[in-house]
Amino acid sequence: MLGIYVHVPFCSSRCSYCDFATNVYDEDLVRRYVVALGGELEAAALYVGEARADTLYLGGGTPPVLGAEGLGRILTAAANHFPVAPGAEVTCEANPETLSPEILDALAAAGVNRLSLGMQTFDAATLTILGRRHEPTEAEDAYWRARAKGFDNVSLDMMYGLPGQERRGWAADLRRALALKPEHVSIYALTLEADVELFRERAAYVFPGDDEQAAMYYDALELLAAGGLVQYEISNFARPGRECRHNLKYWRDEEYLGFGPSAASHWRRGRYRNPRELDEYFAEAATGRWPLANPEPSDPYREMRTAAVLGLRLTAGLDAAAFEERTGVNPKVYYKNELAELAGTGLVTVDGDNVRLSRRGLFLSDEVFSRLI
Ligand code: SF4
């Protein structure tokens, strides 16, 4: 069954480090976006035909800024075109300050059964530097409100490598997150693109260096494991059975359709991406020439390399025989020289048919992937 992703490119304001495809909320833009999205869903349903979804993921941006009505419309439109199977995982990303009781009710009524909450840190001063709009205690209150409304599958996003952050502070953040007993935690290192506000202001802050960031990553592996969360991907940790089923589709090379600006699709061994910016997305909507119906010629080897790199993100690694059955290429043969070198430097382990990142390779995965893509 398919995974469906809907990108909601709106936030209440722009965080200082953000380089995502998102815009500050504007009623007129939202109205045009909802219309364009409806057209895109309709066109894709005609092209793909009857298909059911077992995961639906509303990401952003900050989907709850659309309000209860907007959220309901989008989720209904997606489910009308791609019916959601019983037992499907339906996720909505949210920031703590957006989770009012009304929004939580609307999400529950629309079938959302998993929340992904952008906590990032519990340090109030750092939240201000990051341009986040919530206070640490507000984030905890939002979490408990969601629990009280019956949400029993909640993921928390946490960040390290933040301005002024030290290992002790990061460990304290993780302990405070674990005290909430979430089903899932994702950890991300702060990376600053040259066009974001915090990059321009970076001289005003002290950032942890590479070695300290590596130590923070390894600290997280220990702390989260001790808290009962099993690492299943470079940045993702879950209680057994609570891994994000939607994101697993990306890493397991399964099929998914993405809607909205910057959303990506993987269907019938082709990969497609919508334009990143909202105005380009509107232009595409006006012509009706969606990427899914007008694919670029695909390169099977590039497709295979992408699948290999995505699969290696999982801590279980790649099964060479299963990968060969699926793609016609045995990664141990295709990457013979690269794997020998990466194993020699301790970044990858090869054990029979299993190829996976070592503990060090998990932290230095970009280095590994640049050799394989
Ligand atoms: S809430 Fe997320 S998507 Fe929105 S501006 Fe902040 S970091 Fe970017």
Give 104's contacts (C-beta < 8 A, 6+ positions apart): 145, 146, 149, 151
Q: Give the β-pairing of 23-24 and 53-60.
A: unpaired
Tell me, yes or no, whether 286 lies in a domain.
no
pLDDT at 275: 93
Both 135 and 15 in one domain: the answer is yes
Asked if the structure places residue 48 within a domain, the reply is yes
Mean of the per-residue pLDDT values of the chain: 95
Centroid of ligand 1 to alpha carbon of 212 (angstroms): 25
Is residue 298 over pLDDT 80? Answer: no
Picking from 49-53, 159-163, 178-182, 267-271, which range would have the lowest pLDDT averaged per residue?
Answer: 267-271
Please tell me the total number of residues recorded for the chain in this structure.
373
**Residue 105 corresponds to which tokens in the numbers above?**
């009710």
- Work out the pLDDT band at 185, boundaries 50, 70, 90: very high
Answer yes or no: do 100 and 235 share one domain. yes
Q: What is the pLDDT of residues 21-52, one digit of tens each?
A: 899 999 999 999 999 999 999 999 998 888 99
| Domain closes at, from 216, 231, 250 | 250
pLDDT of residue 236: 98
194 in a structural domain? yes
Q: What is the pLDDT, as a whole number, of residue 103?
A: 96
| Residue 137 pLDDT exceeds 70 | yes
Atom 7 of ligand 1, nearest CA residue: 18
CA of 14 to the centre of ligand 1 (A): 6
Ligand 1: distance of its center to the CA of 352 in Å?
Answer: 42
Does residue 10 share a domain with residue 78?
Answer: yes
Q: Could you tell me the pLDDT band of residue 269, with boundaries at 50, 70 and 90?
A: confident
Looking at residue 64, its pLDDT comes to 97
Alpha carbons 280 and 274: distance in angstroms, whole number: 9
Tokens of 178: 């674990």
The owner of tokens 């969606």 is 290
Distance, in Å, from the CA atom of 355 to the CA atom of 362, rounded to the nearest integer, reads 13
Structure tokens at 180: 């909430």
Distances in Å between the alpha carbon of 219 and those of 93, 172, 243? 26, 11, 21
Judged by DSSP in three states, 135 sits in: coil
Q: pLDDT band at residue 302, thresholds of 50, 70 and 90?
A: confident
Q: How far is the CA of 312 from the centre of ligand 1 (A)?
A: 27
pLDDT tens by residue, 102-125: 999 999 999 999 999 999 999 999
- Residue 185 shares a structural domain with residue 124: yes
Among 250, 276, 308, residue at a domain's last position = 250
State yes or no: pLDDT of 129 exceeds 90.
yes
CATH code: domain of residue 188: 3.20.20.70
On whether both 233 and 346 belong to a single domain, the answer is: no
Q: Indicate whether 214 pLDDT > 90.
A: yes
Shared domain check, 321 and 231 = no
12 within a domain of the structure (yes/no):
yes
Q: Is the CB of 15 under 6 A from ligand 1?
A: yes
The identity of residue 291, as a single letter, is P
CATH number for the domain that contains residue 320: 1.10.10.920
Residue 60's DSSP bridge partners are 8
Report helix, strand or coil for 270: strand
Q: Which residue minimizes the CA distance to atom 5 of ligand 1?
A: 14
**Domains identified in the chain, total number:** 2
Residue 294 belongs to some domain of the structure: no
Residue with tokens 């070695």: 211
- How far, in Å, is the centroid of ligand 1 from the Cα of 50? 34
pLDDT at site 297: 66
DSSP-assigned letter for residue 207: -
Whether 38 and 99 map to the same domain: the answer is yes
Alpha carbon nearest to ligand 1 atom 8, residue: 18
**pLDDT bracket for residue 291 (50, 70, 90):** confident
22 lines ligand 1 (CB under 6 A): yes
pLDDT band at residue 142 under the 50/70/90 scheme: very high
Same domain, yes or no: 80 and 180: yes
For the stretch 318-355, pLDDT in tens is 999 999 998 899 999 999 999 999 999 999 999 999 99
Q: Which of 10, 22, 95, 116 to mutate to test the pocket of ligand 1 (most atoms within 8 A of CB)?
A: 22
Residue nearest atom 6 in ligand 1 by C-alpha distance: 15
Residue 270's pLDDT is 84
Q: State whether the beta carbon of 20 lies less than 6 angstroms from ligand 1.
A: yes
Does 258 sit behind a cis peptide bond, omega within 30 degrees of 0 on the bond before it? no
pLDDT, residue 77, reads 94
Contacts of 123 (CB under 8 A, 6+ apart): 136, 162, 165, 169, 173
- Please identify, by atom number, the ligand 1 atom nearest to the C-alpha of residue 131: 6
Give the separation between CA 209 and CA 215, rounded to whole angstroms. Answer: 10
Tell me 314's DSSP state: B
Query: Sorting pLDDT into bands at 50, 70 and 90, what band is 268?
Result: confident
Q: Has residue 271 been placed in a domain?
A: no
pTM for the structure as a whole: 0.96
Asked if residue 190 has its Cβ within 6 Å of ligand 1, the reply is no
- 265 CB within 6 A, ligand 1: no
Same domain, 222 and 313: no
Give domain status of residue 287, yes or no.
no
pLDDT band, residue 299 (cuts 50/70/90): confident
Domain residues for 373? 299-373
Main-chain dihedrals φ then ψ at residue 28, nearest 5 degrees: -65, -40
1: its two tokens: 């069954």
Give pLDDT, residue 346: 97
Whether the per-residue pLDDT at 296 is higher than 90: the answer is no
- Please choose, from the candidates 179, 256, 207, the residue with its C-alpha nearest in 3D space to the C-alpha of residue 4: 256
| H-assigned helices in 202-262 | 210-226, 245-251
Is residue 30 located within the same domain as residue 132?
yes
Token readout for 109 is: 């009524």
Going from the Cα of 31 to the center of ligand 1, the distance in angstroms, rounded, reads 20
Answer yes or no: is pLDDT of 294 > 80: no
For residue 213 and ligand 1, the question of a CB distance below 6 A is answered with no
The answer to whether position 280 is within a domain reads: no
Task: Calculate what percentage of the chain has a pLDDT beyond 90.
Answer: 91
Domain match, 224 and 304 both: no
- Same-domain check for residues 8 and 155: yes
